[in-house]
Amino acid sequence: MNRLLTAAHLRLNAGSRQLIDDVSLTLTGGERVALIGPNGAGKSTLLRLLTGFLPTTAGECHLEGKPLKAWTAQALSRRRAVMLQQTTLGFDWPVEAIIAMGRAPWGPQHEREIVQQVVALTGCDALLGRRYVTLSGGEQQRVQLARCLAQLWRHDGPEGWLFLDEPTSALDLYHQQQVLRLLKRLTLGGKLHVCAVLHDLNLAARWAQRILLLHQGKLVAQGTPEQVIQAPLIAQWYGADVEVSPHSDGKTPQVFLSV
């Protein structure tokens, strides 16, 4: 199987504004990729283009050798899952029903068993029985991650492409750590591929194998954390004075604001 997602010369216009400007990239199976960039850089918009949530003005994406627009909705939903920044529901369902929504592309077969496995994997046990709308923002994020993993679950684990838009933004330190450790562990087998928008550069540097830096809709830098998280690059594209030094592990870059 061609385990690649490729994007060639993606553009998206909104009136006279160019939201995404000639972006080409390749995501490789088994990778952990972080999308970073200042506010308004186009990270969330690019994520929507890569997943088929938005049509492009120009350019094309291919998933596993097939144009994204050629996939049927059901087949695409079985290969890629998306967790957006905010998911507003128009109904008051319990947590387990929200997680089970991820199984919609597959039908009811083994739904209960898979939901139970995903709940245990993501530590959502304590949330069962509660109404989704009563949860905190961080608890809702954890439930949405569980829904996405249930959507991609095959046999004994998730397989396919998982796209996450700021999955740690509402989480406390403990749950940030647990979520990123879980995603790292799940990608090690090479069956799950994760691309996540992250605002925290230190989290991105510690977790991602590759980083894509966007600025005003353009892909301006990409590479390993060591190649991208450099003081001159961060100052240039974020406009912030920073200091970058090696983490205690001796290799991962660590960013400090100059105050």
Instruction: Give, for all 259 residues of the chain, the pLDDT tens digit.
Output: 678 999 999 999 999 899 999 999 999 989 999 999 999 999 999 999 999 999 999 999 999 999 999 999 999 999 999 999 876 666 789 999 999 999 999 988 889 999 999 999 999 999 999 999 999 999 999 999 999 999 999 988 999 999 999 999 999 999 999 999 999 999 998 899 999 999 999 999 999 999 999 999 999 999 999 999 999 999 999 999 999 999 888 789 999 999 8
Residues 232, 220 contacting (CB under 8 angstroms): no
What is the number of structural domains in the chain? 1
**Residue-range definition of the domain harbouring residue 228:** 4-257
CATH number of the domain encompassing residue 243: 3.40.50.300
